[in-house]
Structure 1
Amino acid sequence: MTVVGLQMALTFIVIAGTIVLYAMERFRIEAVALGSVVALILIFTILPLQTPTGPLGPTQFLAGFANPALITVMALLTIGQALFQTDALDKPAQLLMRMFRGSRIGATTPLLLVVGAISAFLNNTPVVVMFLPVLVALASAQGTSATKVLMPLSFITILGGMTTLIGSSTNLLVADVARRSTDVTLKFFTFTPLGTVLALIGVVYIVFVMPRLLKPRRTMADELQTGAGGKQFIAQIAISYDHPLVGTTSVAGMFPSLKDMTVRLVQRGEKPFLPPFDNLVLEPGDTVIVAATRSALTRALSGRHAIIGSEGVEQQPSEDKQPASEGAATLAEAVVAPGSRLIGRTTAQASLRAETGCVVLGLQRRSRMPRMAMTDIRLEAGDVLLLAGTRGDIESLRGNHDVLLLDWSAAEVPQRQYAPRALTIFMLVVACAATGVLPIATAALAGAFAMLMMGCLNVRQALRAIDSRIFMLIGASLAAATALEATGGAEAVAEALVNAMEGQSPRVILSALFLLIAVLTNVLSNNATAVLFTPIAAGIAARTGVDPEAFIVCLIFAANSSFATPIGYQTNLIVMGPGHYRFSDFLRAGTPLVLIIWLSFTLLAPWYYSF
C-alpha cells in the first residue's frame, strides 16, 4: 500500500469511527468531534501529504471552525434567542392557533406545507430561520415538544428546495458544472414534475410517520414555558388607580382579562367577593387573588402593561442603561426550608424583599390552600415561593438558609416591550438574505449585532444560544471533508461504483448512483459531493448511452437527500439545538426518508425518462 493509499484508508477509518461514536452517544458529541480532528491532524503530521497549495496540516483542518457557514449558524441561533427573550412570536403563534382551531390536523401541518412551497423559490436556510421561532412558539402554545416539529421543518424545506432550479445552492452548482462539462442545460422547471412527486411522497412520511419516530424531548426551559406541568401558584394582584384592570367587569362569572388565571377571591376593604362573580367591576384598592401557572404569571409580569407588579425589581431600564441588561427581572422558585425562620410568618412579615431584594409573586402548597389573600397566608416548610428579582439577587439566594433555591427554575422574564424591534431586525435579516441584497453570513452577523445593540438580549444570553455541539460538528465534518478530497477518497469511491456496475442496466446504475451519493451527502458537504460527482455522472451517462439529464437530475435529488445526519445540511444543524435532537434522532427519523426518496426515484425515473 502506498503512502497516499494508507492516508486514504486511515481517513475512512476515522470518519467511520466518528459516525459510529456519534450514533452510540456514549460520549459527548463535542469530545468525539474533537477526537476526530486530532486524529486527522496526527495522521497527516506523521504521514505528510502535499497538495497544490502546500502540505496538508493543522491550518487546513482547523479552517472549518472559521467557516462562514459555521459563523452563519451561530449568528442565526443568536437571533433566534433574541426572539425568544422578547416573546416576539407569541402573538403570531396565537393567531395561527385561532385560525386552525378545531382542525383535525392542527396548525403545524398547514404551516409546514406553506414552508415547503416557499422553499422551492427561496434559499432553504432563511426559510428555516424565518419559521423556526414561529413553530417553536406554536408548539409551546399547543403544549407539545418542539422536537415534533423542527426536524420536519428542516426536511420539508429540503424537499421543497429540490423541486426548482433555484430551490437550493446545490441545484445551481450542479446545473452550472453540467452546463460547462456536458450539453445539458437545466431550466427553472426542468425537473419540477418529478421533484414535486418525490417531495409529496416525502411529505406524507414527514407528516404522518416521522412524529411517531421522534421522542418528545423537553428541557427544563420547555417545562417552565408550559407552566411546569400545570402546577398552580397562588398570587395576588393589587389594583391601583392606574392599573390596566381598573373598570374590568366580570362576564358570566369570570374576568376576560384574566382568562389564563382562576380568580379565587376579590378583596375590597373588609368585604370579600367569592366566585361566581356577578357583574363585579374592579376598582382601585381591590386585591384580586388568583391561581395561575408559572407561564401565566410570567406573561402577566412582562410587557408594557404588566398586570402583576414587581415592585423593587428593576425591569424597565433607565435611559443610561443597556436594555435587557443584567437588571432584567428573573423568576425562580425556592422552597421554604425545614427550620426556616419564615415558618409561621406571612410573606409580608418575612421581609424577603428587604433582606434579599426578591419579591414574592406566588405561593404553592401541596395541601389545600385557604381562600385568602396571599399576604395573609402563613408559610409552612415545603411551601414553594415564586420569586422575582434581578439575576444577581436570585443567585444570592444560594447562600440563604431560610429558602432553598431551585437553580434549574431560574428564567428571565421575556422583555416584550422590545418585541417590535426584534421582529423588525429579524424580518430585515430574512429579506436581505432571501433577496440577495446581502450574503446570508453578512445578514446574519449584522442581525445578531443589531439584536445586541438594540437591547433584545445581552451578551450572556447570546453566548448561551451558541450550541457547542453544532460548533464542533461543523468544524469536524469540514475537517473530514478536507481529508477525503485531498487523499482522493471521494474519487476512489466513485470509480469503485463505476467498475462494480459495469455491464448493468441503466436503471440499476442510476439507482446505485443515487444511493451512493445519498450516503456521501450525509457525511460530506452536499455541495462538495454534488460538484465532485457531476462530471462522474455525465461520464456514466455517456457509457450507458442514456440521456445525461437523467443522471444529472439523479445527482441533484440524491445530493439533496441529506436527512440522515445533522451534518448533512445546514438547516439540520440550525434545528438541532432548539429541537434538543441527538445524532441518533436524525439516523432514526431521517434514514427511512432517504430510503423512501431513493426507492421512489428508482421506480419513477426510468418511466419519466423512458428507458
Structure 2
Amino acid sequence: MGWQAWATVAIIIAAVIAFASEKIRIDLVALVVLALLVILRIVGLDEALSGFSNEATITVAAMFALSLGIERSGALEPLIRWLSRIRKPWLLTLAMMLTIAPMGAFVKNIALVATFLPLALRVCARSGTSPARVLMPMAYAAQMGGVCTLIGTSSNLLTDTLAQKHGLPPFGVFEFTKLGAILALVGIAYLLLIGRWMLPQKSDAELPVERALGKYVAELRVGRDSAVRDKTIEDVGMGEKFGVHPLQLVRGEQELWSPQSEKLQVGDVLLVRGEWEKIEDFRKAARLEHAPEHRYMQEGDDPRVLVEIMVAPASRAQGRTLPDLNLQWLYDANVLAIHRRGHVLHSTLKSVELDLGDVLLMLVDEDKVARLRIDDRFIVLSAREEAPATPRKAWLAVGIMASVVLASGMHWLPIPAAAICGAVAMAFAGCYGRRDIYQSMDWKIIVLLGAILPLGIAIEKTGLADAVVSASMGLVGDHGPLLALLVVYLLTALLTELMGHNPSVVLMVGIAIAMAHSIHADPRPFVVAVAFAAATSFATPVGYPTNTMVYYAGGYRFTDFMKVGIPLIALFCVLSMWLIPRFWPFYP
C-alpha cells in the first residue's frame, strides 16, 4: 500500500476513536475526515462534495420530513390511546413491539420512540413496574422494523446507493422485507420469552411520571420570613429530617462549598440535591422560595403545571446553558431543577451545560405544554397532553406516506423523487408548519452522510479495500462463501457498535463487494449482510440513537445492553447466515 492508503487507515482509526468516545459531535468528526481527505489530496474536490448531492442524503432528508408529517398530524394518537388502556407491563411490552416494528419500516425510529416513550412511562408508573422492563424492547423493535424496508432507515438507503455505484442493480423497496420480517418476529419472541428475564428488575433511575424523577439539583432562596433564617445548615438538619443534601451556598458573588457552619441570610441561595417530593417538603417547612421562580402558583395566574422534559438525541440544546435556550421567553417556563443521571451537579442551574439525557423539571403554563411537545430539542416525559384531534390531517399524512411507498415500490418514481414529492404534499396539506421542517430536520445525520461518503471513495482509490480483502481471504481460505459472509456480518456489527450504522456502511460496502468478487460470488448477499448488521445495533447504548434515548430514560447500565443485545445479535447472525443465501444465492 502507498502512503495515501496508510494515511486513510490513520484517518479511519482516528474517526473510530472519535465516534466511540462521543466527546466530539458526529457531524464534526465527519467534516474533519472530509477536510483531511481533501488536504492530503486523497480525494478530489468534486469527489469530496459528491456526498451532499448523493441520492441517499437527499432521500434521508425527505424521509425525515415525511416522518415529521406523520408525527405532527396526530396520526399516531389513536394507537397511543389504545395502548394507554393496557395495564399489564408484559402485555404493554408485546403490544409496543408489535405496533412499533411495522411502523418503523416507514417512520423515523427516533420519532417513534420519542412519541411512545411517555406513554410507556405512564403505564409503568400506574402499575409500579420499572421502565427498564419495557423501554429496551421498544427501542429494539424500532430497529427491527427499520431494516424491513429500503426506506426504513438511513443505512439501508446508503447501502443501496453505494451498491449501485459499484454497478449493482438497485434493491426494491420491499426486497429486505422477507428477511426483516422473519428476524423481527424471532427477535420479538426472544425479547418476550428470554430477554425479559435478563432485563433489570429495578433501574438506576426510575422515571414515574407524576412524582419525583431521580435525584434533582435545585436552587432555594432564603426569604425574610424563612424559618431557617439566621440558622446554620447543620442546625437545620435537612439531610436527617428531609433527605435533602446541601451542595453549595451562593451569597451574592460568593460560592461557599462547605456551607454547613454558615448562618443563612436573606437572599442566600442554597443548591440542594434530593428527590423532588423531599425538596418540596423541605422548601415548604423552611418557608424557602424557588430561586428561578418566585411564584409557584399565584392566585389569578393561568394554571401552571410541573413538566419533566429530557434533552433528546442530536438536540440543539446539548452543550448549551439554560439562558441560551430562552425557555422563559418561548414558553414562559421556569426551570426549577435539573437531573443528570450518574452525576451530581455542583453548578448553579444557569451555569449547567446541558447534555443528552439531562432531565429538566420546569413550571409552565398549562396551555404551553402542547407547544413544548413539538420542540424537537426535548422529549416531554410527563404532563403529556393528547394532541388536538385532527383526523383530516392525520388521514392526509397517512395517505401521502402510503402513496410515496406505493410509487417507489412500483417503480413509478425513483425513491428520492417520490420522497420529495411526498414531503411537498405534506407541506401543502398542512401536516407540519413552514418552519417545523427546518427546525426538526436532523441536520447532524444529513451532514454526517454528506461528509462521510467520500471516505468510501478514498478506501477504493487508495487500494485499501483490496488490501483488507486480501487479509480477510487469508483467514477465510478455501472454506467457501458462507464463512466470508460471516466475516462481513461480524465486522460490520462490530464497527456499528463503535461508530454508528452509517459510517460502518460506508466502510464496509466496498469491502464486502470486493470480497464477493474475489471468490467469484454474487455481491448482493454480502451487501444485504452489511445492511442488516448495521441496522440492528443492540449491544451498546451508543450504537443507535433509540438505544441512547432509552438508556437515559430507563436508567439502564451499559452492561444491560450487552446482556440482552449480544445474544440477540448472535441470534440474528445465525439466522442471517441461514436465510441470506436462500433469498439471495451466492451463485444465481
Counterparts in 2 of 1:527 and 1:519: CA distance versus 1, 3 Å: same
**Residue in 2 aligned with 1:136?**
118
Aligned 8 A contact 2:492 2:533 in 1: yes
Task: Give the Cα separation in 1 of the matches to 2:181 and 2:72.
Answer: 35
SS of the counterpart of 2:97?
A: helix
Whole-angstrom CA distance in 2 between matches of 1:448 and 1:341: 56
In structure 2, what residue type is equivalent to 1:209? Answer: G
Alpha-carbon RMSD across the aligned residues, in angstroms, is 6.1
Residue 412 of structure 1 aligns to a residue whose secondary structure is strand
C-alpha spacing 1:474/1:571, structure 2 compared with 1 (3 Å): farther
Per the TM alignment, residue 4 of structure 1 is displaced from its structure 2 partner at its CA by 1.3
Matched, 1:201 2:178: no
Matches of 1:177 and 1:193 in 2, distance apart? 22
Rounded to whole Å, the distance in 2 between the matches of 1:107 and 1:39 is 43
Distance 1:363 1:450, change over 3 A: farther
- Matches of 2:174 and 2:77 in 1, distance apart? 37
Native 8 Å contact 1:433 1:440 kept in 2: no
One-letter identity of the residue aligned with 2:420: P
Q: Secondary structure at the match of 2:119?
A: helix
Match of 2:520 in 1: 542
In structure 1, the partner of 2:84 is: 97
| Structure 1 counterpart of 2:297, one-letter code | L
What is the CA deviation profile of residues 90-145 of structure 1, one whole-angstrom value per residue up to 9, with x for unaligned ones? 886454232x33x46132322212332455xx4252x7635641343232343277
CA contact (8 A) 1:164 1:188 kept: yes
Find 1:339's aligned residue among 207, 212, 224. Answer: 224
Q: Hey, what's the Cα distance between the residues in 2 that align with 1:60 and 1:585?
A: 40
Q: Does 1:381 align with 2:365?
A: no
Alignment partner, residue 115 of structure 1: 100
C-alpha spacing 1:124/1:216, structure 2 compared with 1 (3 Å): farther
Question: What are the equivalent positions in structure 2 for 1:127-166 lying under 5 Å apart?
Answer: 129-130=111-112, 132-143=114-125, 149=134, 152-162=137-147
Unpaired runs of at least 5, structure 1: 23-27, 231-332, 344-361, 368-377, 399-404
Does structure 2 retain, via aligned residues, the 8 Å contact 1:14–1:36? no
Structure 1, residues 452-510: CA drift from partner, whole Å, max 9, x if none?
579xx9x9xx97x88xxx75576457534433432434554345323442322343223
Read off the aligned partner of 1:106 and give its amino acid letter.
Answer: L
Output the amino acid matched with 1:432: I
Given that residues 171 and 556 in structure 1 are in contact (C-alpha distance below 8 angstroms), is that contact kept between their aligned partners in structure 2?
Answer: yes
> Structure 2 length normalisation: TM-score?
0.54
Kindly provide the amino acid, as one letter, of the partner of residue 195 in structure 2: V
Cα deviation code 1:221-245 (max 9, x no counterpart): x66x423369xxxxxxxxxxxxxxx
Shift of 1:420: 1.8
Q: What aligned pairs does 1:472-511 form with structure 2 within 5 A after superposition? A: 475-476=447-448, 479-488=451-460, 489-490=464-465, 492-511=467-486
Per the alignment, do residues 417 and 485 of structure 1 end up closer, same or farther by CA in structure 2, a change over 3 Å counting?
Answer: closer
Name which of 7, 10, 35 aligns with 1:41: 35
Aligned pair partner of 1:435 in 378, 384, 403: 403
Q: Which residue of 1 aligns with 2:46?
A: 53
Q: Which amino acid letter does the alignment assign opposite residue 101 of structure 2?
A: G
Question: Equivalent residue for 2:383?
Answer: none
CA positional deviation for 1:597:
1.5
Fraction of identical pairs, as percent: 24
Report SS of the residue matched to 1:511.
helix
Query: Given the superposition, is the C-alpha separation of residues 568 and 51 from structure 1 closer, same or farther in structure 2, using an over 3 Å criterion?
Result: farther
Paired residue type of 2:46:
T
Pairs within 5 Å for 1:265-284: none
Following the alignment from structure 2 to structure 1, what is the Cα–Cα distance between the partners of residues 557 and 433? 29
Quick one: structure 1 residues 572 and 199, their matched pair in 2 at CA, closer, same or farther if it must change by over 3 Å?
same
2:491 corresponds to 1:513: no
- Residue 61 and residue 425 in structure 1: after superposition, are their counterparts in 2 closer, same or farther (change >3 A)? same
Contact 1:41 1:61 in 2 (8 A): no
Partner of 2:17: 17
Between stretches 590-599 and 434-443, larger displacement belongs to 434-443
Alignment match, 1:259: none
Whole-angstrom CA distance in 2 between matches of 1:396 and 1:582: 27
Which range is displaced more, 502-511 or 145-154?
A: 145-154
SS at match of 2:520: helix
Q: How many residue pairs were aligned? A: 445
Amino acid across the alignment from 2:83: L
For 2:90, what is the secondary structure of its paired residue? coil
Using the alignment, how far apart are the partners of 2:482 and 2:391 within structure 1?
A: 50
Q: Cα distance 1:559–1:201, how it changes in 2: closer, same or farther (>3 A)?
A: same
CA separation of 1:176 and 1:9: change in aligned 2, threshold 3 A: closer
Distance 2:106 2:552 in 1: 21
TM score, norm. by length of structure 1? 0.52
User: CA 1:363–1:514 in structure 2 vs 1: closer, same or farther (change >3 Å)?
Assistant: closer
Kept in 1: contact 2:205–2:555 (CA 8 A): yes
Match of 2:574 among 591, 599, 606: 599
Distance 1:563 1:128 in 2: 15
Change over 3 Å in CA distance of 1:229–1:3 after alignment to 2: closer
SS in 1 for 2:287: coil
User: In the alignment, is residue 412 of structure 1 matched against residue 364 of structure 2?
Assistant: yes
Pair 497,68 (structure 1): closer, same or farther in 2 beyond 3 Å: same
Q: What is the Cα deviation at residue 555 of structure 1?
A: 4.8
Instruction: Tell me the residue number matched to 2:378.
Output: none
Cα distance in 1 for residues equivalent to 2:361 and 2:223? 20
Closer, same or farther in 2 for the Cα pair 1:595/1:124, shift >3 Å?
farther
CA contact (8 A) 1:339 1:381 kept: no
Q: CA deviation at 1:12?
A: 1.9
Q: Quick one: structure 1 residues 542 and 364, their matched pair in 2 at CA, closer, same or farther if it must change by over 3 Å?
A: closer
Counterpart residue number, 2:321: none
Report the Cα distance in structure 2 between the residues aligned to 1:542 and 1:519, rounded to whole angstroms: 26
